[in-house]
Chain A
Amino acid sequence: MIMESGPQETSLKANFFLVWSEVVKNMKFLMAYPVIFIFWTIFPFFWFITFIFQGQAIVGGLQSPSFAKSAGTSEYIPFIIIGAILNGYVLTSLYGVGESIRREAYQGTLDYLLSSPCNKAFILIGKAVSETISSTVYAIIHLFVCVIFFGIELTLGVIMPIMLILILMILGLYGIALMLAGLSLQFKQAHDLAHTLEYVFLVFAPVRYPLEALPFWAQIIGRFLPLTYALIAVRSLMLLKQDFPAIYQQILLLFVIDVLAIFLGFYLFNWMEKRTKKSGAISQY
């Protein structure tokens, strides 16, 4: 029997199935390209080891009074490792979610996503969830290796607050990734845009150095990045041994940045989608 009228009422089950299908699709891609998994597992180690050696070469050891003064801790290695692990979420969200729309266009599947009656937000949520799962798997592997080989201390009490911080950070990052996805509909070079954004995070967020090491104007830019608050909060819990009430301000600010980023992300994506459908750029790659 051919359907005669418009779409069926969307059920919660159908939306859940859509998110689930998107996750399954992305996970199967990941399994189909095992080198991606190996790269993201190994890459952060190479990333932070260079900075440990560089730091040692500059200050002549693992302690630096000036670093301790600005960071509040003299433990440079755990400082860098936390930076690398959280920065991993930035990379996977930008290259994963942000670039995935471009990949769909390149594969020729974007037209089908856009001409389907589903709410596109659920496709994007599915992409975000699958990236979160893979990023968390990488983060757990990294943390596990760092606890064993680099003497990172992880107490059970901080695990829950760290999880909350990570979730909030991821939400903000996906807002930014959505903006990137929207821009890539028009400008196409998603990889280059992601690369540029990656360095914006690296320069203005306290990944390799404390925020205080930046000039005042750069610190202001850094305050607009969700990674900044997440790094400050996680380091406060893990390195400065502060408790949750001491970081509630960072959590609150992170939440505000999240709301802004997600709102702007969806707005920009929808606007760019409409714009490119008018200009015809949507089908170009």
Chain B
Amino acid sequence: MVHNKNNDLYSIQTINLTKVFKKRKHKGIFGFLKKKTKEEKSGSSEDVTVALDHVNSEIRSGELFGLLGPNGAGKTTLVKCLSTILIPDEGTAIINGFDIRKQTSFVRASIGLVIGGERTLYWKLTARDNLMYFASLYKMPRREAKQRVEEILALMNLSDRADERLEDYSTGMRQKIAVARALLHNPPILLLDEPTLGLDPTFSRQIRNQVRELCKKEGRTILLATHYMKEADELCDRVAIINDGKIAAIDTPERLKAMVKETELVEVSCYNPPHNTEDYLRPLCPDVEIITLIRGDEAKGAPSRIKIIGGNAEKHVSTIVDALRKKDAQITSVNISMPTLEDVFIKITGAKLAEGGIT
């Protein structure tokens, strides 16, 4: 276990954790015949993506810690580095007291991993076969594995369907098996990457309840990477907002939301907003910090949302509504509401959220 200066107990600690990916350039079929430029020869023109940029964080033992960010923010890369699937380029992390660079075997035994969803199981095998196989990877003798698999199947309410092939399971049931797999060796730490992605509301709720129990009743430390802000808000003791590989803020959901005052937040839902909404509205409310359009799938009935954050946003409501109507936008609602983690994300990062970013 890792202790900081205040003698708090940390299960996970990242220290300047950095991961950079080189982008592969496609030069065409005969690209290899092309002469290299000076920059290419020296390597200075190399196109890179900084997936994790000196990430520092500390997760206390028994804490349910959320990692919230849009797709491509670096959540999965962080989970992969912590689980030793990827080797960081700089920095390190301490998991359950073990260094991810030097004590990989101990780190691996300390964590249960849910990553990649339902696809990461053997669909041609039964649930029991899958769990028996994965138990064998955790150095369990057969008898112990068998007993543990039965316990886990019972915990997941899947004992009666344990001998069916996973190809006959629903997506939600397969995801339950993926969570069950992470618990086989009874690890003190769970790394969950988007565990409810693609699940219907019923299974999402079941998985969320399970995650809460694993932390609060059983005392496990959980890192939950998600782009569902409601999930992070509902479950997590503390949340780190990650964007472009950097941790933008870490705090409890309540404290994070307190960063955006109620009077600072207006949300206008409408169909057919002007395509340059931000530029169009900006001169009308110069004191607000952020105006951002989150496009909805209007063809399917989901309106677009315009968020106006910062300054005295509330004061500008009527001006904004009039201006949008002039541009033929059909306004469905105007809310001066309690801020959400999404608003915090927008305020902190100034980032525009695309559809499917944070939801």
Contact = CB atoms under 8 A, between A and B. Distances in A.
A13 B119 contact: no
Interface in A235-285: 274, 277-280, 282-283
Interface of B: 19, 21-22, 51, 80, 83-87, 89, 96, 98, 103, 105-106, 108-111, 113, 115-117, 119-122, 124-125, 129, 132-134, 136-142, 145, 165, 181, 185-188, 218-220
Contact of A2 (B89, B106, B122, B219): B219
A117 B140 contact: no
Interface string A1-44: 11111111011011001101110110011001100000000000
**Residue among B109, B117, B218 with max Cβ neighbours from chain A (10 Å):** B109
B6 to A, nearest CB: 22
A277 B136 CA distance: 23
A254 to B, nearest CB: 32
A114 B85 contact: yes
A109 B133 CA distance: 12
Given A8-B139, A107-B120, A109-B121, A114 B84 contact: yes
Given A7-B109, A274-B87, A13 B138 contact: no
B220 A115 contact: no
B129 A17 contact: no
Of A2, A4, A28, A107, the most chain B CB neighbours within 10 A belong to A2
Contact of B141 (A2, A7, A11, A115): A11
Contacts of B98: 6
B327 to A, nearest CB: 44
B195 to A, nearest CB: 15
Contact of B187 (A3, A22, A32, A279): A3
Ranked 7 nearest A-B pairs via Cβ: A7-B109, A6-B106, A116-B137, A21-B136, A108-B120, A117-B108, A32-B124
Contacts of B108: 7, 115-117
Contacts of B84: 114-115, 277
Give the interface centre of A21, A116, A123 by most chain B CB atoms within 10 Å: A116
A283 B105 contact: no
Interface in A104-118: 107-109, 111-118
A6 B85 contact: no
Contacts, number: 137
Interface in A121-153: 123
Contacts of B145: 17
A33 B108 CA distance: 33
Contact of B142 (A17, A22, A274): A17
Interface residues of A, dominant DSSP: helix
Contacts of A108: 116-117, 119-120
Contacts of A7: 105-106, 108-109, 138-139
B139 A10 contact: yes
Given A2-B220, A107-B119, A111-B116, A117 B109 contact: yes
21 contacts: A2-B186, A6-B96, A6-B98, A6-B103, A7-B138, A11-B139, A14-B139, A17-B140, A17-B142, A25-B125, A28-B124, A33-B124, A107-B119, A107-B120, A115-B108, A116-B134, A117-B106, A117-B137, A118-B137, A279-B21, A280-B86
A165 B186 CA distance: 45
Contacts of B103: 6
Contact of A118 (B87, B96, B125, B138): B138
A112 B134 contact: yes
A27 to B, nearest CB: 11
A257 B21 CA distance: 38
Nearest to B104: A117
B120 A18 contact: no
B87 to A, nearest CB: 5
A14 B140 contact: yes
Nearest to A31: B124
A3 B122 contact: no
A239 B302 CA distance: 78
A114 B181 CA distance: 15
A21 B139 contact: no
Nearest to B109: A7
Contact of B109 (A6, A13, A283): A6
A1 B186 CA distance: 8
Given A13-B141, A21-B132, 7 more contacts: A6-B105, A6-B106, A107-B120, A117-B109, A117-B137, A118-B137, A279-B22
B58 to A, nearest CB: 19
A14 B187 CA distance: 18
A111 B141 CA distance: 22
A34 to B, nearest CB: 12
Contact of A111 (B89, B111, B120): B120
